[in-house]
């Protein structure tokens, strides 16, 4: 039984590392080589439509406002996002994607979809269902572990 756990851990670590490497390579060899993975994830947190407040984005990314401010400043300089103050409450800062930011978002989203399609080519319908179920359970358990460990440290 222990050997099985060791093998599962090894595979999960390899999958995580492979996805990160593939993602980094895709970004660095693509049109948006001036973006880091962290910046792409910040664009994703801003979202494709409308705008979000700095507080909403920081909460989604689980980072401090200071860290987010630095990241948004860099993305503004690169032309991917724009910042504006709320007309109702001038203390609230809204962030939205520019056209360039929306294009980067869509291309990155397509990268992920293409990667999943390529992986799924070798799966039967039954294997797809089993994989989906297993990944949903894995995701749920990881979220519980994270939530539990976060509560312990609070």
**Alpha carbons 138 and 9: distance in angstroms, whole number:** 12
Q: What is the DSSP-derived secondary structure letter of residue 133?
A: H
Q: Round to whole Å and give the CA distance between 22 and 7.
A: 22
pTM: 0.84
Summarize pLDDT for 32-54 with one digit per residue, the tens: 899 999 999 999 999 999 899 99
Mean pLDDT for the stretch of residues 15-36: 89
């Amino acid at each position: 039984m222990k050997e099985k756990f060791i093998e599962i851990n090894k595979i999960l670590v390899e999958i995580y590392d492979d996805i990160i490497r593939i993602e980094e390579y895709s970004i660095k060899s693509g049109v948006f080589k001036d973006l880091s993975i962290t910046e792409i994830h910040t664009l994703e947190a801003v979202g494709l439509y409308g705008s979000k407040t700095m507080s909403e984005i920081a909460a989604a990314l689980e980072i401090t406002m200071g860290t987010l401010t630095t990241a948004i400043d860099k993305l503004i300089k690169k032309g991917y996002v724009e910042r504006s103050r709320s007309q109702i409450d001038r203390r609230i800062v809204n962030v939205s994607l520019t056209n360039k930011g929306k294009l980067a978002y869509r291309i990155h989203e397509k990268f992920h979809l293409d990667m999943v399609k390529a992986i799924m080519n070798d799966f039967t319908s039954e294997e797809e269902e089993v994989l989906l179920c297993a990944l949903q359970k894995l995701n749920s358990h990881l979220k519980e572990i994270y939530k539990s460990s976060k509560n312990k440290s609070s």
